[in-house]
C-alpha cells in the first residue's frame, strides 16, 4: 500500500514537472520573440496550455513529492494570469494595426509610410511593456534563477555573470518547515513581520498608499535570542518570495570598486526577482557609523547601499524588503536607521518563555521533571538567552551518559531519565552569555529609538 502511494506521488510529480518545464520553454521562446519585436501569440498559448495541464493534475496526500508538485502548480497558476494578460495586449495591438492599415490612404507611398509608423509604434510598445509582470514572474527556470533573457538584461546594466552567480548563491531555499508558531515568544516581532510581509503578499490590494508597508525592519538585541530564527521562519512562511541571506563577506571584496558593484548587483537582481526579502545578519559589521578614519572603499560601499535601498532612483512600488539583525544597534549609522523605520528589540526570554523553551527542548529526551520542577528551572535560569537554555539542556542531557563506563556505553540501549539535579549541575557549567552592561545599553537605546518585542 505504501509503495503504491509513493508511486502515485512520484508519477504526479513527474507529470507536473514535465508540464512546468515544457510550459516555460514555450513561454520563454515567446518572450524572446516579444522582445525582438516579432511577438508570437501561439507560443504563449502553448505555454498556457501546458501550465493548465499541470495545474489540473490531482495531487493527494502529504510529503516531499506532493509539496514540490503543489509549489510548481502555484507558480504555474500565477504565470497563467500574467501570460494571458500579455496575450490580450498583443491581440488588441493586432486589431489596432489592422484597422489602421484598412483606413490608410490608397497611395502606395503613404500606405508604406503608415505601415512603417505602425510597426515602429507596436515594436516600441512591446519593448517598453514586455512585460513588467511577465518578465519578473515568468523569466525563471525550474530552480527560480534568472534565465538567459534576464542574464542579458542584467549584463547590459553592467553586472557580469560572476557577480550574478555570487549573489544567487546567497538565495536561501527553506527546507526546515519552521513557522512563526514554532518560535517561542517575541509576539511583537512576529506580528510586525506578518504585517509588513505576509499579509501584503496575501492581499496586496489592501496595503497600498498610506497603508503600504515599510521597506526596512531592524531586529536587535543580545546574542542568541531568536533574530536569525525569526528570519528562517519568515523564509518558510513566504515560499513564493526570494530570500537572500546576505553577510558582510557577500558584498565586500579586496578589489577596488567591487564592493559597490556587488551592492548594485544585489538590488538589481532583487528587483528583477521580486517579491524579494534581503536578510542581513550582523548588519553593524557592514553599515556602522561613517567616520573619517575608515577607508574609501567601505565609504563607497555604504553610500551605494543607502542609495540603492532608498535613493532618488528607487521605486516605491518595488516589493523588496530588507530585514536586518544586529547585537549592536547603537553602532549603526543614522542614515541607516532612517531606512529602518521599524526597530524591534528581542530581549532575553522572560520566566514563562524560559519554561516553554526548556519544555520544548526536553520533548526529545526522557526525563522525570514535573511542571513544578520546570517552573523552578525558570527561576534558576534568570538572564539566560534562548541559545544559553538550549546549551543548558544539552549539558544536562549528557549527565546520564557520563555515569557510564566506556564498555557500558557501547552495550546499553537506553539511559536513565534526566533529573532536576542534572540541571543544577549543568547550570554551574553553562552560564549566561549576556552581560548586564549590554542589556542596560540596549534598554537605553530602545527607549530612544526602538520598541520591545
Tell me: do 157 and 64 sit in the same domain: no
* DSSP calls for 186-214: -HHHHHHHIIIIIHHHH-TTTS-GGGPPP
Domain boundary among 322, 348, 374: 348
Tell me: do 163 and 111 sit in the same domain: no
Task: Please state, in angstroms and rounded to a whole number, the distance separating the CA atoms of residues 248 and 324.
Answer: 12
- 242 in helix, strand or coil? strand
Inside any domain, residue 441: no
Tell me: do 167 and 235 sit in the same domain: yes
Per the structure, the count of domains in the chain is 3
Looking at residue 349, what DSSP letter applies? P
Report the pLDDT value the prediction gives residue 358, as an integer from 0 to 100: 92
| Cis, bond preceding 275 (omega within 30 deg of 0) | yes
- 376 in helix, strand or coil? helix
Task: Please state, in angstroms and rounded to a whole number, the distance separating the CA atoms of residues 339 and 283.
Answer: 13
Tell me: do 113 and 33 sit in the same domain: yes
Inside any domain, residue 440: no
Q: Which three cell numbers stand for residue 350?
A: 522572560
Tell me: do 394 and 421 sit in the same domain: yes
Q: Is the pLDDT of residue 130 over 50?
A: no
Report the pLDDT value the prediction gives residue 399, as an integer from 0 to 100: 92
- 342 in helix, strand or coil? strand
Tell me what the mean pLDDT of segment 126-141 comes to.
42
For residue range 325-362, list pLDDT tens digits in order.
999 999 998 889 999 999 999 999 999 999 999 998 89
Inside any domain, residue 260: yes
Tell me what the mean pLDDT of segment 5-31 comes to.
80
Tell me: do 309 and 403 sit in the same domain: no
Task: Please state, in angstroms and rounded to a whole number, the distance separating the CA atoms of residues 44 and 86.
Answer: 9
282, 316 contact by CB (below 8 A): no
Inside any domain, residue 356: yes
Hunting for cell 495531487 — which residue is that?
59
Q: Is the pLDDT of residue 137 over 60?
A: no
Inside any domain, residue 259: yes
Inside any domain, residue 443: no
Tell me: do 344 and 369 sit in the same domain: no
Task: Please state, in angstroms and rounded to a whole number, the distance separating the CA atoms of residues 219 and 323.
Answer: 7
202 pLDDT band (50/70/90 cuts)? confident
Domain boundary among 142, 176, 197: 142
Task: Please state, in angstroms and rounded to a whole number, the distance separating the CA atoms of residues 359 and 355.
Answer: 6
For residue range 216-257, list pLDDT tens digits in order.
999 999 999 999 899 889 988 888 888 998 887 778 776 767
Output the domain CATH number for residue 397. Answer: 1.10.8.60
Q: Which three cell numbers stand for residue 132?
A: 513588467
Output the domain CATH number for residue 117. Answer: 1.20.58.80
Tell me: do 232 and 127 sit in the same domain: no
Looking at residue 404, what DSSP letter applies? S
Report the pLDDT value the prediction gives residue 417, as an integer from 0 to 100: 92
Q: Is the pLDDT of residue 2 over 60?
A: no
- 240 in helix, strand or coil? coil
140 pLDDT band (50/70/90 cuts)? very low
Tell me: do 132 and 212 sit in the same domain: no
- Alpha helices (H) in 214-370, listed in sequence order: 227-237, 248-251, 258-272, 296-310, 334-338, 351-362
Task: Please state, in angstroms and rounded to a whole number, the distance separating the CA atoms of residues 174 and 70.
Answer: 15
CA 3 to chain centre: 35
Domain boundary among 320, 348, 376: 348
- Alpha helices (H) in 37-131, listed in sequence order: 41-55, 64-102, 108-129
149 pLDDT band (50/70/90 cuts)? low
Report the pLDDT value the prediction gives residue 388, as an integer from 0 to 100: 93
Q: Is the pLDDT of residue 268 over 90?
A: no
Tell me: do 109 and 199 sit in the same domain: no
Tell me: do 136 and 185 sit in the same domain: no
For residue 14, what is the enclosing H or E element? Answer: helix 2-35
Output the domain CATH number for residue 277. Answer: 3.40.50.300
Tell me: do 344 and 355 sit in the same domain: no
Task: Please state, in angstroms and rounded to a whole number, the distance separating the CA atoms of residues 233 and 274.
Answer: 19
426 pLDDT band (50/70/90 cuts)? very high
Domain boundaries, position 332: 152-348
3 pLDDT band (50/70/90 cuts)? very low
Q: Which three cell numbers stand for residue 175?
A: 527546507
Inside any domain, residue 374: yes
Inside any domain, residue 438: no
For residue range 295-304, list pLDDT tens digits in order.
777 888 888 8
Amino acid at each position: 500500500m505504501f509503495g503504491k502511494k509513493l508511486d502515485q506521488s512520484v508519477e504526479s510529480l513527474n507529470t507536473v514537472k514535465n508540464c512546468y518545464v515544457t510550459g516555460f520553454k514555450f513561454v520563454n521562446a515567446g518572450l524572446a520573440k516579444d522582445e525582438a519585436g516579432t511577438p508570437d501569440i501561439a507560443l504563449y498559448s502553448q505555454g498556457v496550455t501546458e501550465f493548465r495541464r499541470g495545474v489540473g493534475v490531482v495531487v493527494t496526500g502529504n510529503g516531499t513529492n506532493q509539496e514540490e508538485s503543489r509549489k510548481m502548480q502555484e507558480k504555474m497558476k500565477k504565470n497563467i494570469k500574467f501570460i494571458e494578460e500579455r496575450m490580450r495586449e498583443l491581440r488588441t495591438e493586432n486589431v489596432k494595426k489592422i484597422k489602421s492599415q484598412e483606413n490608410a490612404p490608397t497611395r502606395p507611398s503613404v500606405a508604406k509610410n503608415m505601415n512603417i509608423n505602425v510597426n515602429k509604434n507596436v515594436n516600441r510598445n512591446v519593448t517598453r511593456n514586455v512585460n513588467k509582470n511577465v518578465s519578473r514572474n515568468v523569466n525563471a527556470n525550474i530552480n527560480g534563477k534568472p534565465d538567459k533573457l534576464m542574464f542579458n538584461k542584467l549584463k547590459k546594466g553592467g553586472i557580469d555573470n560572476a557577480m550574478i552567480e555570487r549573489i544567487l548563491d546567497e538565495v536561501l531555499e527553506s527546507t526546515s518547515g519552521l513557522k512563526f508558531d514554532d518560535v517561542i515568544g517575541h509576539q511583537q516581532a512576529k506580528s510586525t513581520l506578518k504585517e509588513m510581509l505576509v499579509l501584503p503578499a496575501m492581499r496586496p490590494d489592501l496595503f497600498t498608499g498610506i497603508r503600504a508597508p515599510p521597506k526596512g525592519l531592524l531586529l536587535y538585541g543580545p546574542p542568541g535570542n531568536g533574530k536569525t530564527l525569526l528570519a528562517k521562519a519568515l523564509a518558510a512562511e513566504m515560499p513564493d518570495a526570494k530570500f537572500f541571506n546576505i553577510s558582510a563577506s557577500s558584498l565586500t571584496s579586496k578589489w577596488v570598486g567591487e564592493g559597490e558593484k556587488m551592492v548594485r548587483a544585489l538590488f538589481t537582481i532583487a528587483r528583477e526577482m521580486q517579491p524579494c526579502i534581503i536578510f542581513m545578519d550582523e548588519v553593524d559589521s557592514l553599515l556602522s557609523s561613517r567616520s573619517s578614519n575608515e577607508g574609501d572603499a567601505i565609504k563607497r560601499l555604504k553610500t551605494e547601499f543607502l542609495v540603492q535601498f532608498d535613493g532618488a532612483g528607487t521605486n516605491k512600488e518595488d516589493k523588496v524588503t530588507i530585514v536586518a539583525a544586529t547585537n549592536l544597534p547603537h553602532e549603526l549609522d543614522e542614515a541607516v536607521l532612517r531606512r529602518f523605520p521599524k526597530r524591534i528589540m528581542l530581549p532575553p526570554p522572560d520566566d514563562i518563555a524560559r519554561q516553554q523553551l526548556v519544555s520544548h527542548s526536553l520533548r526529545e529526551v526522557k526525563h522525570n521533571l514535573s511542571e513544578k520542577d520546570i517552573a523552578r528551572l525558570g527561576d534558576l535560569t534568570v538572564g539566560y538567552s534562548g541559545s544559553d537554555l538550549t546549551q543548558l539542556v544539552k549539558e544536562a542531557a549528557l549527565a546520564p551518559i557520563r555515569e557510564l563506563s566506556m564498555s557500558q556505553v557501547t552495550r546499553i540501549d537506553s539511559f536513565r531519565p534526566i533529573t532536576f539535579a542534572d540541571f543544577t549541575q549543568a547550570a554551574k557549567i553553562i552560564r549566561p552569555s549576556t552581560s548586564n552592561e549590554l542589556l542596560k545599553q540596549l534598554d537605553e537605546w530602545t527607549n530612544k529609538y526602538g520598541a520591545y518585542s
